[in-house]
């Protein structure tokens, strides 16, 4: 049951891999299984977002006015500074992988490039978060 929660938690845009992987490993779950399930869970919602981007954008525009949030402004700044690869690679730790993918496509990235860079980013960060936590390195609390 806890492994299912890892999968579901990683699929939820505001929880993501940065929180779910360390929590799963700290709970005593197998690090490799946690990393893999979190990666798959995050990709489980990223892939439909990328594939269904056009319909999602239409739905979102109907639901709310286009307003600029702090995350959106941060994403645009990352895009202008580092392009799609930089924004997507930094996305999981700065703005969230789902937001990075969506904004990347909004700013003109192709679905294929967004999918490739999202996969690389989520896979890489999953390994980093998992390995650091499994090695006992506390990434959430500053050294005292």
Share of the chain above pLDDT 70, in %: 88
3-state class (DSSP) for residue 1: coil
Which tokens hold the place of 9?
Answer: 């938690």
Average per-residue pLDDT in the chain?
85
Domain ranges, ordered by start, for the chain: 2-134
Check if the beta carbon of residue 45 is closer than 8 Å to that of residue 11: yes
What does the pLDDT read at residue 139? 59
For the stretch 70-89, pLDDT in tens is 777 777 777 788 888 988 99
Query: How many CA within 13 A on the CB side of residue 111?
Result: 9
Per-residue confidence of the chain (144 residues) as pLDDT tens digits?
A: 899 999 999 998 878 888 899 999 999 999 999 999 999 999 999 999 898 888 877 776 666 555 567 777 777 777 788 888 988 998 888 888 888 898 888 888 899 999 999 999 999 999 999 998 888 876 555 555
> In angstroms, rounded to a whole number, what is the distance separating the alpha carbons of residues 129 and 75?
22
Check if the beta carbon of residue 56 is closer than 8 Å to that of residue 40: no
Helix (H) or strand (E) holding 19: helix 16-26
């Amino acid at each position: 049951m806890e492994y299912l929660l890892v999968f579901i938690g990683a699929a939820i845009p505001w929880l993501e891999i940065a929180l779910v992987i360390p929590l799963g490993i700290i709970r005593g779950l197998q690090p490799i299984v946690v990393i893999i399930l979190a990666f798959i869970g995050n990709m489980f919602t990223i892939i439909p977002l990328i594939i269904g981007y056009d319909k999602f954008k239409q739905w979102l525009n109907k639901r709310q006015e286009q307003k600029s949030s702090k995350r959106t402004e941060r994403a645009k700044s990352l895009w202008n500074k580092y392009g799609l690869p930089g924004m997507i690679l930094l996305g999981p730790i700065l703005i969230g992988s789902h937001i990075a993918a969506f904004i990347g496509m909004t700013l003109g990235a192709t679905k294929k490039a967004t999918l490739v860079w999202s996969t690389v980013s989520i896979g890489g960060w999953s390994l980093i978060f998992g390995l650091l936590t499994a090695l006992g390195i506390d990434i959430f609390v500053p050294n005292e």
